[in-house]
Structure 1
Amino acid sequence: MSDQDRHLDPGEPDRVALHARDVDFDWADLPMHWIPGEPFATHMINVLHLLLPEGERWFVEVFKQALPLIRDEHLLEDVRGFIGQEAVHAESHQGVIDHFDAHGLDTTRYVEQVTWMFRKVLGDRPYEGERREEWLVERLALVAAIEHFTAFLGQWILDADALDEAGADPTMLDLLRWHGAEEVEHRSVAYDLYMHVDGRYGRRARAMVIAGFALFVLWTRGVRYLMRHDPVLRGSRKARWRDLIRSGRLGITPSLWQLLRAFPAFFRRSYHPSQHGSTSQAIAYLAKSPAAQAAEH
């Protein structure tokens, strides 16, 4: 089913009540290459664990600052649900980083660079009045742009049956699919908030250019870093573009074409996140996710 067909499907719910699920994951048995025999594909996805904790803590802080600007009760409820979900996401991925660090894959230097970007470059500045609000709105536009990409990844992981066929670790798959399902579930919130407080097309487009470039640089550096510091590989393999093409063809990572195709939709003036992804599919996964179900009970 295409994204457009999903959008037109009357079976898709218009709105869901967002709430944080207090999930827990046991990484004691996680192998270094949790996609067996596929170190590149493993680390291509592992970059998420290094980026997301600081990034999602930043999302939470920016959205908390925006709460006084919200004049719509439904949006306010959605933003509070988004904040709760993102906070749990950050801590869940932090557990994977701690596991890697304890098993010889030192992520410290890369994570420090990510932390510097979110806390220093994109953090609070000593502005007052209108200038302070403009900086907040600028960051809300960036969150909306990044959330477009995370929603794409969320839908991809929900659809990625090839990972099951490749024997990927089931606990890691549950983490990724639980998180991906919640990204699809709340995919419209950041965009709706930006449109509520500002909505200018030029700022939105600029934010995607900046976010897209930053994600490209961080992701390529992250994969190279993980391959270089992998205690099993010991520097014997480097990240190569042909590895990305191969893993994309196998369906165990997003293909280069899928990644490139994910961005242009955001630049359409008629764009809305609800046009992409399946809320009903996300809800269906959350209803059977081992971690989400354990949290409910």
Structure 2
Amino acid sequence: MSNPLPSSPEPREHRGHASRVTLPDTDPGPVELHARNVAFDWSQTPLHWIPDHPVPSNFISVLNLLLPEGERWFVQTYNEALPMVHDEELAATMRGFVGQEAMHAEAHDKVLWEFLDARGIDPRPFQAQMEWIFRKMLGPMEGGTPEARHKHLVERLWLIAALEHYTAILGDFALNNRWVECGADPVMADLFTWHGAEEVEHRAVAHDVATYFADGYLRRGRSMLVALPALLILINRGFRFIIKQDKSLRYNFFQREYHYFRGVRAGVLPKMRSVVLATFSYFRPGFHPDEIGNTAQAVAYLAASPAARNAS
């Protein structure tokens, strides 16, 4: 098994200002995927990084709990699948995807300790659960016939494709929300917008890889029926985990709901109903992830992102 986190040059830290990038008029055409080596300075970022929106801040911070192990699982699974890919163009795209996901895992892993842990949110219990899910429950099949192990790999590839449907939707939200207008911390806003832009940039890779290994409408539908409830459960568990440890908030259930919907109205949180309803597009025959988001907008943000520009 290849190392799921390839080494990379030492990145430089920054505290630049995230900016909103409007939709460009020109299509950049095919984009060669590559990892952008970034680093972030969390020393000045408050726990409630969106001013006057503590609940939305904590809700989005849940992704920092989920992503490190999830992204490492993506990388591990693709490293397992790469030797079986004989289409060099697809293999090159997969390698670019692996590099980007490895950097996502590294960046969000540092947030766990330099941001959440440093502000009184101990991520260790939740991370132990994530390690069990992604390393044990969803890890490579041990034993069995080669045919059974291959089938298990295909199921994991389709599950990744289903999850990437949501990362693309959330990436498009990250590029088009109102964090900057609401005065959000520029470093945290840049982290999620940089990550979201790369999710839009590589939104079709997981679908194309799963299709290459074993196309089929039933496989696609079955993976989504697993991915959606699992994702909703993990996000809800992560949110309750952070809220319970956030000693500065003493909100009851109704107060939390009020602040959540207030964040949605302010444009700093996605409408979960819209995210869930977007699932139906995935079941449409002929669906392709290129329908989500805008590559030109993603590339334009990545060219302007303080963290991504530091990589050059």
Same fold per TM (> 0.5)? yes
Residue in 1 that maps onto 2:173: 156
Q: Given that residues 53 and 259 in structure 2 are in contact (C-alpha distance below 8 angstroms), is that contact kept between their aligned partners in structure 1?
A: no
Could you tell me how far 1:128 is from its partner in structure 2?
3.0
- Superposed CA deviations along residues 186-223 of structure 1, whole A, max 9, x for unmatched, are 00000000000101110111101100000000011111
User: CA 1:210 to 1:241, structure 2 compared with 1: closer, same or farther past 3 Å?
Assistant: farther
Q: Given that residues 78 and 189 in structure 1 are in contact (C-alpha distance below 8 angstroms), is that contact kept between their aligned partners in structure 2?
A: yes
- Superposed CA deviations along residues 225-262 of structure 1, whole A, max 9, x for unmatched, are 111111322x5555744433221111110013322222
d(CA) in 1 for partners of 2:286, 2:257? 34
Residue in 2 that maps onto 1:198: 214
Aligned pairs for 1:163-174 within 5 A: 163-174=179-190
Matched, 1:119 2:135: yes
d(CA) in 2 for partners of 1:57, 1:237? 35
Could you tell me how far 1:157 is from its partner in structure 2?
0.6
d(CA) in 1 for partners of 2:251, 2:296? 43
Find the partner of 1:146 among 144, 157, 163. 163
Q: Which amino acid is 2:286 matched to?
A: S
d(CA) in 2 for partners of 1:282, 1:129? 40
Higher mean alpha-carbon deviation, 31-40 vs 285-294, is at 31-40
Matched, 1:246 2:262: yes
- Superposed CA deviations along residues 30-79 of structure 1, whole A, max 9, x for unmatched, are 10110112111001100110000000000000001111221211111100
Residue in 1 that maps onto 2:89: 74
d(CA) in 2 for partners of 1:34, 1:23? 20
d(CA) in 2 for partners of 1:10, 1:223? 38
User: Aligned Cα RMSD in Å?
Assistant: 1.7
Find the partner of 1:215 among 227, 231, 234. 231
Could you tell me how far 1:14 is from its partner in structure 2?
4.1
Q: Given that residues 245 and 256 in structure 1 are in contact (C-alpha distance below 8 angstroms), is that contact kept between their aligned partners in structure 2?
A: no
Percentage of matched positions with identical amino acids: 47
Matched, 1:128 2:152: no
Higher mean alpha-carbon deviation, 194-203 vs 108-117, is at 108-117
Q: For this pair of structures, how many residues does the alignment match?
A: 287
d(CA) in 2 for partners of 1:49, 1:10? 33
- Superposed CA deviations along residues 72-124 of structure 1, whole A, max 9, x for unmatched, are 11111100000000000001001110021122111221222122111111012
Find the partner of 2:241 among 219, 222, 225. 225
Matched, 1:95 2:110: yes
Q: Which amino acid is 1:156 matched to?
A: F
User: CA 1:10 to 1:289, structure 2 compared with 1: closer, same or farther past 3 Å?
Assistant: closer
Matched, 1:189 2:205: yes
Q: Specify the SS of the correspondent of 1:165.
A: coil
Higher mean alpha-carbon deviation, 61-70 vs 48-57, is at 61-70
d(CA) in 2 for partners of 1:22, 1:281? 20
Residue in 2 that maps onto 1:51: 66
Find the partner of 1:287 among 281, 285, 303. 303
Q: Which has the higher helix share?
A: 1
- Superposed CA deviations along residues 247-279 of structure 1, whole A, max 9, x for unmatched, are 111111001332222211111111100111100
d(CA) in 1 for partners of 2:289, 2:126? 31
d(CA) in 1 for partners of 2:83, 2:289? 24
Q: Given that residues 201 and 299 in structure 2 are in contact (C-alpha distance below 8 angstroms), is that contact kept between their aligned partners in structure 1?
A: yes
Find the partner of 2:48 among 7, 19, 33. 33
User: Which TM-score applies when normalising by structure 1?
Assistant: 0.92
Matched, 1:24 2:53: no
